[in-house]
């Protein structure tokens, strides 16, 4: 006996509804997975950028730290120059180099720390840096 066409149609609609619900569930799952992947990617990008910035800061600090003793030595050497050669061009050339190096170090935390230590050595009663 043949089934009633209305019943067949209802069964077909139910099957289609179930299939649609399954596909919607899959779509929701894919969307959630995609959103998690995007969030992970953004977090990774931010972390890489932060690490890059930190690495650059450390590199700059190490460079400044290596220049500061040279500046100290140059200051000491200039304070001991024989007056007979004080105005010579090569001395002036070294002073230009010293000023350029000092200018590169100016404003860095390491430079401020160096100035602070120097100030404390020359004025121990003060006891702190501003």
SS3 content of the chain, % helix, strand, coil (to 5): 80, 0, 20
Q: Is residue 71 part of a domain?
A: yes
Give the structural domain span for 76: 5-122
Q: Is residue 127 part of a domain?
A: no
Concatenated DSSP letters for 38-60? HHHHHHHHHHHHHHHHHHHHHHH
Give the per-residue pLDDT at 6.
74
Give the per-residue pLDDT at 65.
84
d(CA 32, CA 14): 27
The total of structural domains in the chain comes to 1
Helix-helix angle 89-105:109-122, to 10 degrees: 110
pLDDT at 20 over 70: yes
Q: Is residue 129 part of a domain?
A: no
Q: Is residue 80 part of a domain?
A: yes
Residues 6+ apart with CB under 8 A from 74: 94, 97, 98, 101
Average of pLDDT values for 56-67?
Answer: 85
Q: Please, which pLDDT band fits residue 5 given cuts at 50, 70 and 90? A: confident
pLDDT at 111 over 70: no
Q: What is the DSSP letter of 4?
A: P
Helix-helix angle 5-79:89-105, to 10 degrees: 150
């Amino acid at each position: 006996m043949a089934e009633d066409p209305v019943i067949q149609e209802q069964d077909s609609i139910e099957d289609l509804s179930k299939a649609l619900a399954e596909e919607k569930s899959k779509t929701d799952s894919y969307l959630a997975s995609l959103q998690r992947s995007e969030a992970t990617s953004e977090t990774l990008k931010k972390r890489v950028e932060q690490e890059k910035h930190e690495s650059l800061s450390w590199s700059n600090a190490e460079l400044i730290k290596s220049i500061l003793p040279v500046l100290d030595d140059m200051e000491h050497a200039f304070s001991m120059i024989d007056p007979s050669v004080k105005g010579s061009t090569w001395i002036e050339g070294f002073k230009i180099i010293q000023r350029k190096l000092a200018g590169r170090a100016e404003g860095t935390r390491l430079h401020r720390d160096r100035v602070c230590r120097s100030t404390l050595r020359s004025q121990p009663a003060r006891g702190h840096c501003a």
